[in-house]
Amino acid sequence: MPRLTDKARYWMLVLPALAIMIIFYILPVLGIWEISVTEPDFGFGNYVKMTESNAVKTSFILTFRVAAITTIGCLLLGYIVAYTISNFASRLTPLMVALVLLPFWVSVLIRSFSWIVLLGRSGLVNDTLRDVGLITSPLRLMHNETGVLIAMIHVMLPFAVLPMLANMRGISRSYTDAARGLGASEWTAFRSVYFPQTLPGVFSGALLVFVLSLGFFVTPALLGGGRVLMISEYITYQIQEFLAWGLGSALSVALLIATALVLLVAARFVNLKSALLERH
Amino acid sequence: MKTSTFRIFFNTGAWLVLAFLVLPLLVVVPVSLTDTSYIGLPKEHLSLQHYESYFTSPEWLHATWTSIWVGLAVAAAATVLGTAFSIGCWFLSDRAATIARWVLITPILVPPVVQSLGFYRFWVKLDLIDTYTGVILAHTLLALPYVSISVFAALANLDRRIPQAARSLGASVWQTVTNVVVPAARPGMLTGAVFAFIVSFDEIVGVLFITVRAVNTLPKVIWEGIQENIDPTIAAVSTFLVMITLAATAVVVLRRRIA
Task: pLDDT tens for chain B, 259 residues: list them.
Answer: 556 888 899 999 999 999 999 999 999 999 999 888 888 888 888 989 999 999 999 999 999 999 999 999 999 999 999 999 999 999 998 999 999 999 999 999 999 999 999 999 999 999 999 999 999 999 999 999 999 999 999 998 899 999 999 989 988 888 999 999 999 999 999 999 999 999 999 999 999 999 999 999 999 999 999 988 778 899 999 999 999 999 988 888 787 766 5
**Closest Cβ opposite residue A102 in set B22, B97, B113:** B22
Looking at the complex, report in whole angstroms how far the Cα of residue B112 sits from the nearest Cα belonging to chain A.
7
Q: Do B250 and A98 touch (CB under 8 A)?
A: yes
Per the document, the length of chain A is 280
Interface contact A118-B27, CB threshold 8 A: yes
Q: Do B18 and A81 touch (CB under 8 A)?
A: yes
* Cβ <8 Å between A83 and B28: no
Asked which of A96-100, A146-150, B140-144, B225-229 is least confident by mean pLDDT, the reply is B225-229
Closest residue in B to A235 (Cα–Cα): B113
Among A172, A97, A100, A176, which residue's Cα sits nearest to residue B7? Answer: A176
User: What is the reported pTM?
Assistant: 0.93
Nearest neighbour of B249 by CB, restricted to A27, A30, A105 = A105
- pLDDT at residue A89, as a whole number: 77
Q: Are B82 and B144 in contact (CB under 8 A)?
A: yes
**A9-32 as b/e: b if 16+ CB within 10 A:** bbbebbeebbebbeebbbebbebb
Collect all residues of chain A within an 8 Å Cβ-Cβ radius of residue B230.
116
Is the pLDDT assigned to residue A2 strictly greater than 70? no
Determine the pLDDT at residue B254. Answer: 80
Residue pairs spanning A and B at CB distance below 8 A: 260
Q: How many CB atoms lie within 10 A of CB A133?
A: 7
Q: What is the pLDDT of residue B36?
A: 85
Q: How confident is the model at residue A279 (pLDDT cuts 50, 70, 90)?
A: low
Measured between CB atoms, which of B101, B105, B173 is closest to A9? B173
pLDDT of residue A122: 81
d(CA B93, CA B63): 42
A-chain residues within 8 Å CB-CB of B109? 211, 259, 263, 276
- The answer to whether the CB atoms of A118 and B24 lie below 8 A apart is yes
In angstroms, the first-to-last Cα distance of chain A is 41
Q: Do A18 and B85 touch (CB under 8 A)?
A: yes
- ipTM of this complex: 0.92
The single-letter code of the amino acid at A59 is: S
The interaxial angle of helices A27-38 and A45-52, nearest 10 deg, is: 80
pLDDT above 90 for A264 = yes
